[in-house]
Amino acid sequence: MLLKLNIRNYAIIDELSIGFSPQLNIITGETGAGKSILMGALSLILGERADTSYLQNREQKCVVEGIFLTGGRKDVAAFLENGDLDPSDELIIRREISTAGKSRAFINDTPVSLEQLRTLSAMMVDLHRQFDTLDIGKVDFQRSVLDAVAGNGVLKDAYMAQYAEWQATLRELNRLRKEQEQFNRDLDYHQFQFNELDEMNFRADELEETEAELKMLSQAEQLQGALAAVCYNLSESEQPIVQQLKQMLQQVQTYSDGYAPLKELVERLQSVHVELQDIAGEFDRLQDHIKHDPQRLAFLNERLAAGYRLQKKHGVNTTADLIAIKEELEKKLQASSENGDRITALEIKAAKEESALRGTGKKLSEKRQEAAGPFTKEVNTLLTQVGMPNALLKLSLTPCEPEPQGMDQVEFLFDANKSGRFEPVRKVASGGELSRLMLCIKSLVAGSMDLPTMIFDEIDTGISGEAAKQVGVILRKLATQRQVLCITHQPQIAGKAHAHYFVYKETRNNKVRTNIRLLGEEERVNAIAQMLSGETPTAAALENARELVNS
């Protein structure tokens, strides 16, 4: 609800502040008094582009500020939370235009973008002007209206939840299918690579060990000769080293008991003798194990060559790398198999979800079909009352595949002159017709839809008398559930106000300025009488005005 509107330095408005009733607020005034200027100022906090031509005083900035009560609206609370703005039951929406023409927007004193301002303001205010493109031409709004009168809130929420779940399943299914397509494209190649590595079946560090063994075997003959020479010199020659060392021990051992330094050396020599005997034995055993084996040599060469080829192919340098690649390929092959199972399971899940969704969607469509006839009948009755006796509204419901809002394409069709030719309302209805049509529709759904403050700018164009009276009746009824602001030239509408504001021009300091004031009871009667009979109202006009106010 718009609680208060403050305007400073906008066009011919110096400064004014207006507080509004939570019900029906009527704004009247002579043509040219500045009612459109008020709407222009209000449009600034609704996110319209700023125009520096409205800056009359170039030494001061223009400020338009609206104070709103949110009424606990969930969409407003969600917007504030998502925008990192402080939640509050009272919102101050402000627009400033500097003397240089720079525009800034604020929500509760926090700077925001123009897009944020438009989004929030659209939740708080629904402004209808002549020749505006109204919500009534939007498919989403038309569907929402039909669902509101059909009482589809719970059923539609269930459908939308099922649709969201079904779509999530389909997205996951499509992702897995694309993944499977890639798996299938690579499957043969991955299988071939895996088979190559699996056939080789390398053990850990095998290629490194094979390389060392191959180097040893390739030098087997030379190594055997060297080992044989060592063994011969140690223990098999005419004067083997082991034997010579034993003789040396025998020569000095006899004298070691009485001479401590010699005894220590003898002990050390004995240790060397024992160690050398052991070394000679090891050399002998090693010589027995080293044999020139052409078959083993060929096998190792072939194995190593295959390993090097695979390392080069995969761009790696170790046996461990090849084993890791084999394990990764095995995982991919296993994943491909598991992916197929998951796809099958998701296909079954998606089919069940779609079946349930279509069931709910069918019920939703049936309720829409049931509500369409009575709704259009009521709207057409109201259109006659508001001065459009030849106008007819018709709802077109076309079945379609499941969509986020249901399984119907909803279209409001309009015939302004009983021509029998119904066209989409957005294409054929004039600005005044759209405003009155919107008024009729919203008066029927105000109790079912969470509508914001509604502002009607000259909704009375082209009507008078009884039709104007009926527009006033509908506006007043609508205002029992929602705040309504209406600019009008019709006394029949003005008489229905809960709060009546009068826009006027006055001259101050040789400058013409626009101002506005809330009228008291007698002032209202006089203003309406002037609307009926001119600047100097007759007694009959005053009596008629009083009757309009009290009716």
Numbered ranges of CATH 3.40.50.300 in the chain: 1-131+449-519
pLDDT above 50 for 130: no
Where do we find the tokens 């009359």?
56
> What is the C-alpha separation between 383 and 303, in angstroms, rounded?
94
Where do we find the tokens 């046996």?
319
pLDDT digits (tens, 9 = 90+) for 253-305: 777 776 778 888 878 888 888 888 888 777 777 766 666 667 777 788 888 88
Structure-token pair, residue 546: 């009083």
> What is the C-alpha separation between 283 and 278, in angstroms, rounded?
9
- The arithmetic mean of pLDDT across residues 88-106, rounded, is 88
pLDDT above 80 for 407: yes
pLDDT above 80 for 370: yes
Where do we find the tokens 């300091």?
509
pLDDT above 60 for 210: yes
Task: Give the model's confidence band at 224: pLDDT under 50 very low, under 70 low, under 90 confident, else very high.
Answer: low
> What is the C-alpha separation between 208 and 102, in angstroms, rounded?
74
pLDDT digits (tens, 9 = 90+) for 44-56: 888 888 777 777 7
Beta bridge partners of 293: none
Ranking 169-178, 215-224, 406-415, 456-465 by mean pLDDT, the lowest is 215-224
Beta bridge partners of 454: 126, 484
pLDDT above 80 for 228: no
Residue 125, H or E segment: strand 125-128
> What is the C-alpha separation between 44 and 51, in angstroms, rounded?
10
- Output the pLDDT for position 297: 74
pLDDT digits (tens, 9 = 90+) for 438-450: 888 888 887 677 7
* Amino acid at site 72: G
Task: Give the model's confidence band at 535: pLDDT under 50 very low, under 70 low, under 90 confident, else very high.
Answer: confident
Report the SS3 class of residue 156.
helix
pLDDT above 70 for 73: yes
pLDDT above 70 for 143: yes
Distance, C-alpha 64 to centroid of its chain: 32
Structure-token pair, residue 539: 């007694």
Ranking 244-253, 393-402, 533-542 by mean pLDDT, the lowest is 244-253
Residues of the chain with pLDDT > 90, as a percent, come to 29
Q: Are 411 and 396 in contact (CB under 8 A)?
A: yes
- The arithmetic mean of pLDDT across residues 239-261, rounded, is 78
Which residues lie closer than 8 Å to 464 by C-beta, 6 or more apart?
Answer: 387, 490, 492
Report the SS3 class of residue 342.
helix
Top mean-pLDDT range of 74-88, 188-202, 206-220: 74-88
β-pairing verdict for 511-518 and 499-508: antiparallel
Which residues lie closer than 8 Å to 19 by C-beta, 6 or more apart?
Answer: 3, 4, 518
- Output the pLDDT for position 95: 92
Task: Give the model's confidence band at 378: pLDDT under 50 very low, under 70 low, under 90 confident, else very high.
Answer: very high
pLDDT above 70 for 136: no
Mean pLDDT of the chain: 84
Structure-token pair, residue 125: 């205010």
Ranking 99-108, 111-120, 124-133, 299-308 by mean pLDDT, the lowest is 124-133
- Output the pLDDT for position 169: 96
Handedness of CA 384, 386, 388, 393 (dihedral sign): negative
Residue-level length of the chain: 551
Q: Are 436 and 421 in contact (CB under 8 A)?
A: no
Residue 234, H or E segment: none
- The arithmetic mean of pLDDT across residues 81-85, rounded, is 88
Cα three-residue angle 30-35-36, rounded to 5 degrees:
125
More confident residue, 228 or 322: 322
- Output the pLDDT for position 132: 43
Query: In the CATH hierarchy, which top-level class contains the domain 1-131+449-519?
Result: alpha beta
More confident residue, 112 or 430: 112
- The arithmetic mean of pLDDT across residues 401-423, rounded, is 91
